Amino acid sequence: MTAVTRHLSTMGQLGALLELLWSSRPRFWRRNIVRVVAASDVGTVRTNNEDYFLIADLTRSVTSPAATAHGNTSSGDMMAAQPLLVVADGMGGAAGGEVASATATAVIWSCLAQASRERWLRTSYRLRQSLLEAFRVANNQIRADAARCTDLVGMGTTATVAVVLPNVLYVGHVGDSRAYLVRDGRIQRLTRDHSLVQYLTDTGVADEVDAARGRGHALLRALGAEADVVVDISHVRLRHGDVVVLCSDGVWSALADDEIAEAVNVRRDLRATCERLVTLANERGGRDNATAIVSRLEAASWRRHSG
pLDDT one-digit tens code per residue, 43-54:
999 999 999 999
- Residue (of 155, 199, 194) closest to 174 by Cα position: 194
Between these two residues, 105 and 303, which has the higher pLDDT value? 105
Question: At 159, which CATH number?
Answer: 3.60.40.10
Banded pLDDT at 247 (limits 50, 70, 90): very high
The pLDDT score that the predictor gives to residue 301 is 52
Asked if residue 176 has pLDDT above 90, the reply is yes
Asked if residue 109 has pLDDT above 90, the reply is yes
Banded pLDDT at 95 (limits 50, 70, 90): confident
Of 8-12, 56-60, 119-123, 179-183, give the lowest mean pLDDT range. Answer: 8-12
CA atoms of 184 and 265, how far apart (whole Å): 9
Say what the pTM is.
0.86
- Residue (of 148, 266, 116, 253) closest to 197 by Cα position: 253
16 within domain boundaries: no
The pLDDT score that the predictor gives to residue 197 is 87
50 within domain boundaries: yes
Q: Once rounded to an integer, what is the mean pLDDT over residues 55-82?
A: 83
146 within domain boundaries: yes
CA atoms of 215 and 118, how far apart (whole Å): 44
CA atoms of 272 and 279, how far apart (whole Å): 10
9 within domain boundaries: no
For the chain, give the mean pLDDT: 86
The pLDDT score that the predictor gives to residue 214 is 55
The pLDDT score that the predictor gives to residue 61 is 61
User: Which phi and psi (to 5°) does residue 201 adopt?
Assistant: -65, -45
Asked if residue 6 has pLDDT above 60, the reply is no
21 within domain boundaries: no
Enumerate the β-bridge partners of residue 163.
84, 170
The pLDDT score that the predictor gives to residue 24 is 44
Banded pLDDT at 141 (limits 50, 70, 90): very high
20 within domain boundaries: no
Asked if residue 21 has pLDDT above 60, the reply is no
Domain that holds residue 77: 30-301
13 within domain boundaries: no
Q: SS3 string of the chain? A: CHHHHHHHHHHHHHHHHHHHHHHCHHHHHEEEEEEEEEEEECCCCCCCCCEEEEEEECCCCCCCHHHEEEECCCEEEEEECCEEEEEEEEECHHHHHHHHHHHHHHHHHHHHHHHHHCCCCCCHHHHHHHHHHHHHHHHHHHHHHHHHCHHHCCCEECEEEEEECCCEEEEEEECCCEEEEEECCEEEECCCCCEHHHHHHHCCCHHHHHHHHCCCCCECCCECCCCCCCCEEEEEECCCCCEEEEECHHHHCCCCHHHHHHHHHCCCCHHHHHHHHHHHHHHCCCCCCEEEEEEEEEEEECCCCCC
Total domains in the fold of the chain? 1
Q: Once rounded to an integer, what is the mean pLDDT over residues 253-260?
A: 97
Q: Read off the pLDDT of residues 209-229 as tens digits, 9 standing for 90 and up.
A: 565 555 556 899 999 999 999
